Structure 1
Amino acid sequence: MSTDRMTQLYNETCLLPSSKLHSAVEAVERNPLLSHWTGHYLSRPLFVEERQIRGFADDVVRMVGLLTSLPERLFDGDLDRFCAALGIDDRRAALMRRLGPPPHNGRADMYHDGTSFKLLEFGIASEVGGWDRAGEIPRAFLEADAFRAFAEEHGLGYTHPAKAVADSLRQVGATVRPDGEPVVVLLEGPGGLVDYGTTWRTFESVMRGFGLDFHVAEVGDVQERDGKLYLGSLPIDVVYRCFETNQIVDEPDGPALVEPLFRAHEAGGTVLWTPMSSNLFNDKGCMALLSDPRYRHRFTTEEQAVIDRVLPWTRGLGGVGVTVDEELIGHCRERREQLILKPSGYFGGKGTIPGWECSDENWTNALREAASSGCIVQERVVPRTEPMVVNPSIREIQPWQAVWGLFYTPDGYAGTYGRALPTENNGVIGISSNKGTRTAGVFHYSSDS
């Protein structure tokens, strides 16, 4: 049921009459840093060979470099043309272009198809979630005696993404405060803490555990004075941005609300991590540009090989001011069962429509409607089965599927986590799109284990 041998070993051990592995997840559920999160945890971790995940991470980091080079490669550095090609309207483009290019920081989501990983989407931004849970879940599993014994026997390890991002924040904070620990404030959008407060408070606790002076607030809570931001009387060295473009554009005075952050960043008094240009490259239309055969000659043979190895067939479809390609529409209609439609500017599975779940008529209507606002169409990747022991007493194993999230910082690979659903759900695997989704930690192992 799985191509991963460590998963098979884990399940075999879990089914032994004397094994207590199946109850190890209780250490996660009662962990103080994880117990207040409103989501649910998978009953076991995911497993991956370390050489495989690090090799794919190297490819992802190279892809991020290609992604951020698109304006220069394809549009001679003209951001107006770049935004027009992506169908980004003027208000959003103005915010995204306000500061310079972003650092390579974020999370890439992918499936494992049983042979290799395939990229589903980039997340070049600081507001992507999971940095804390991805590291704390494996740490909590190791607190369970039965799991710790299994991990030691098979040489399991993990990388903590929150530690990696804490290291990055210290590095950028040193440009403002070279003689001490930086003050970091995570800023949500207006009213954002109502929906995401629990998540960011957990993140705050984890970051403080790594020694950072870390706080959580909303963008309207800070003021700029003499080129530096303040939260009340507290001077801020680094803003960890957790609001995105749509949250600001949807506010009547949105641009004025974030202008103090831009001014402080430009003055050098406070670093904005990451600038809103991250959202420019976060647009899924960028993947279509990388995949488009019209631009293939702009990449070296080696770069083309990376794109082919990592990215499924992807095409852009429409957008604001973009003429709809009728030939592409026809091609997508014919390949309905092999394609999935994703709105360009959203995340978390919002608005995603799998062609294989639609009738021909509904699929055609979805393509037409999505083309008016901008979307990508991507080749379906079928994830491998992740067998889960759901009832050890009767040796019941249930098939699940997982989407993996690979974290990266300017220093490279920063860890992995997963989200999973039973295969019978056959839908988008995401916390915001399906409440049955479970979050999983990831352990890596050596090929010699």
Structure 2
Amino acid sequence: MSAERVAAQYNEELCAPGGDLREVIPHVKKYPTLAAWNGKYLARPLFVDEREIHRFAEDLRHLVDLTLSLPDRMFDGNLDKFRSVLDIGDGRWAAIREFDDLLPPCYGRADMYHDGTSFKLLETNLGSECGGWALASEISQAMMEVDAFAGFARRNQLGYVHPVRAVVETLRRFGARVAPGREPVVALLEWRGGLEVYGELWRNFQAALRSAGLDILVAEVPDVHERGGALYLGDTKIDVVYRAFVPDQIVEEPDGWDLVAPVLRAHRAGRVHLWTPLSSNVFANKACLALLSDPAWRRALGEDECRLVDRVLPWTRLINTEALRTDLFDECLARRDQLILKVNARGGGVGAVVGWETDDVMWRQALETSAVEGCVVQQRVKPRPEFVVNPVAGKAEEWHAAYGMFYTPEGFAGLRAKAVPAGSGSIISFTSHADAHAAAVFQQRELPAEVADLPQGAVPADAAK
């Protein structure tokens, strides 16, 4: 049975008189580790084919490796040329280089759409500042605790990978460098004022990690202090800083360097380790995707590598002041209804301009204005319809979903989704869309759960309890 047929069967059983699947979302809303999050939940989970998602995960890992190789392969190791193409200013670059070597670990969340034929990558979101790990984990776990859903999952060979369990294992491995033989003390640090904005998500993350067996502290950068070369939060010595701040925050505030100085000194002394390095921010820059996509840049790639890029990545091109003087600018003007403009160093749809939702005048102005900051244009990907039963009206409605694939240095680490009603806007983001709903994603496997080769953190359908 395909993932689409599983979805149709779920909707049918949900609508059946007295159907127990109606208990699933109310149970999720009351789940203890989700208590800190006040967002909306989609009325059903989403389903994907296990083979398809694992093939995409393998392609994604190779694409991230290609991205990390860009300075050497395209710029002969000249980092100044590399960061110039990415439009990384002097201040951000200074923050990145003060803290770290350039090459970061593979840790983050790739965002993609399914166009009805295959998954297409939109962004790589490399780095620990990207969220969603706990929502993905806890919504799935909560659903599996409802007998009706656990039975549905067993009948349809559904399972999931628990992203937070993958995070726990990754942090334990990383923390062993500074805390050998014991559990590392991990502190998630937001920037000043960051918890006011993102506090509920990070407290959800904290609750999920603690439930999975690893304690984590949550604070802001000004809350920590240095003592004897080590970093402390109150009287607690920190081994690992789980970074939730970004280079821009350091350089854009007058006292930014003073705020981060204790973390920097302890990091340089080897008394605290930073997960992940600020250099992750470099390779999450959307311009990297344009370098991989554009034949004018990717001459250093082999034929198989180019085929891989074209298989998973939509047509993506750099838009900067130089591009305004080339044929690319005219092509972008002519293809307005097929393109979206995205700012290189921003996420969550912030600053994006949707070509098919603007007119010619606005589109030209957006291209010319955004070229100064550094942007990419990307081919439109139309997400496949996801039919979801409205629990009030009892009828199936069309939604569009953005999938998130988590990855760690050990590999594929699970999925999440966010969805919006079809026709309500083209940017599927909690930041940019007031009606975005969170959803669990379950994989349908062909082999019986007990013999399937499950990845890290995987939870088979028959292990719901």
Between the two proteins, the alignment pairs up a number of residues equal to 445
Q: How does 1:128-139 map to 2 (within 5 A)?
A: 128-139=130-141
SS in 2 for 1:157: strand
Cα shift at 1:226 = 4.1
Q: Residue in 2 aligned with 1:414?
A: 413
Q: Residue in 2 aligned with 1:329?
A: 329
Q: Please identify, of 229-238 and 219-228, the stretch whose mean Cα deviation from structure 2 is larger.
A: 219-228
Counterparts of 1:168 and 1:280, CA distance in 2: 21
Q: Residue in 2 aligned with 1:390?
A: 390
Matched to 2:154, the amino acid is: E
Q: Residue in 1 aligned with 2:344?
A: 344
Deviations 1:146-195 (Å, cap 9, x if unpaired)?
A: 21111121121111111111111100110111121000000000111111
Counterparts of 1:81 and 1:290, CA distance in 2: 16
Q: Residue in 1 aligned with 2:113?
A: 111
Q: Residue in 1 aligned with 2:241?
A: 239
Aligned partner of 2:167 among 159, 165, 168: 165
SS in 1 for 2:346: coil
| Unmatched runs of 5 consecutive residues or more in structure 1 | none
Matched to 1:43, the amino acid is: A
Q: Residue in 2 aligned with 1:404?
A: 403
Deviations 1:314-360 (Å, cap 9, x if unpaired)?
A: 001016xx563442111100000100011111101111111000111
Q: Does the CA contact (< 8 Å) of 1:22 and 1:44 recur in 2?
A: no
Q: How does 1:79-228 map to 2 (within 5 A)?
A: 79-98=79-98, 99-100=100-101, 101-228=103-230
Counterparts of 1:325 and 1:246, CA distance in 2: 29
Cα shift at 1:257 = 2.5
Cα shift at 1:447 = 3.2
Q: Residue in 1 aligned with 2:275?
A: 273
SS in 1 for 2:429: coil
Q: Does the CA contact (< 8 Å) of 2:157 and 2:446 recur in 1?
A: no
Q: Residue in 2 aligned with 1:291?
A: 293
Q: Residue in 2 aligned with 1:373?
A: 373
Deviations 1:183-236 (Å, cap 9, x if unpaired)?
A: 000000011111111111111111111222310111111123344211122111
Counterparts of 1:255 and 1:384, CA distance in 2: 46
Q: Residue in 1 aligned with 2:462?
A: none
Matched to 1:328, the amino acid is: L
Q: Residue in 2 aligned with 1:59?
A: 59
Counterparts of 1:64 and 1:227, CA distance in 2: 35
Cα shift at 1:295 = 2.4
Deviations 1:357-381 (Å, cap 9, x if unpaired)?
A: 0111111111111111111000000
Q: Does the CA contact (< 8 Å) of 1:262 and 1:272 recur in 2?
A: no
Q: Residue in 2 aligned with 1:305?
A: 307
Counterparts of 1:357 and 1:447, CA distance in 2: 41
Q: Residue in 1 aligned with 2:435?
A: 436
Matched to 2:173, the amino acid is: Q
Counterparts of 1:380 and 1:223, CA distance in 2: 47
Is 2:71 aligned against 1:42? no
Cα shift at 1:22 = 3.3
Counterparts of 1:23 and 1:424, CA distance in 2: 28
Name the TM-score, length of structure 2 as normaliser.
0.92
Q: Does the CA contact (< 8 Å) of 1:42 and 1:440 recur in 2?
A: yes
Matched to 2:439, the amino acid is: A
Q: Does the CA contact (< 8 Å) of 1:22 and 1:389 recur in 2?
A: no
Q: Please identify, of 143-152 and 395-404, the stretch whose mean Cα deviation from structure 2 is larger.
A: 143-152
Q: Residue in 2 aligned with 1:362?
A: 362
Q: Does the CA contact (< 8 Å) of 1:110 and 1:117 recur in 2?
A: yes
Q: Does the CA contact (< 8 Å) of 1:127 and 1:241 recur in 2?
A: yes
Counterparts of 2:306 and 2:406, CA distance in 1: 23
Matched to 2:417, the amino acid is: G
Cα shift at 1:391 = 4.1
Counterparts of 1:6 and 1:301, CA distance in 2: 37
